[in-house]
Amino acid sequence: MKLSLGALIFAGALLQGLSFLFVSLLNAILPPYGGAYLAMMMSLYPGYNPVEVPVSIIIGVLYAVISGGLAGAVFGWLYNYFAGRS
């Protein structure tokens, strides 16, 4: 059985983007929440800085959507590759 690559890309992008948005908004409301996660994301996503709240959240969500989509694509491709071999 093969997985739909487009569905995995969409699901990965949606999950990563929404989770990043959720953590970023909670951090803006309750500053200590998710601080370590956002510091790690700041080191991975150039241009993202949790101090600059409105613009930075949009930049971070865009990066998260792209990285989630890429992760879904890689996972789906690997799954389909190895599922086809067995």
Q: What is residue 4's predicted lDDT score, i.e. its pLDDT?
A: 96
Please give the torsion angle defined by the CA atoms of residues 70, 75, 80 and 82, in that order, rounded to the nearest 10 degrees: 140
Under 8 Å between Cβ of 17 and 25: no
* pLDDT exceeds cutoff 90 at 86: no
Q: What is residue 53's predicted lDDT score, i.e. its pLDDT?
A: 81
pLDDT confidence band for 1 (50 / 70 / 90): confident
Give the range of the structural domain holding residue 42, as residue numbers without chain letter.
Answer: 5-85
| pLDDT digit string, tens, across residues 14-50 | 999 999 999 999 999 998 999 999 999 999 999 898 8
Give me the number of domains the chain comprises: 1
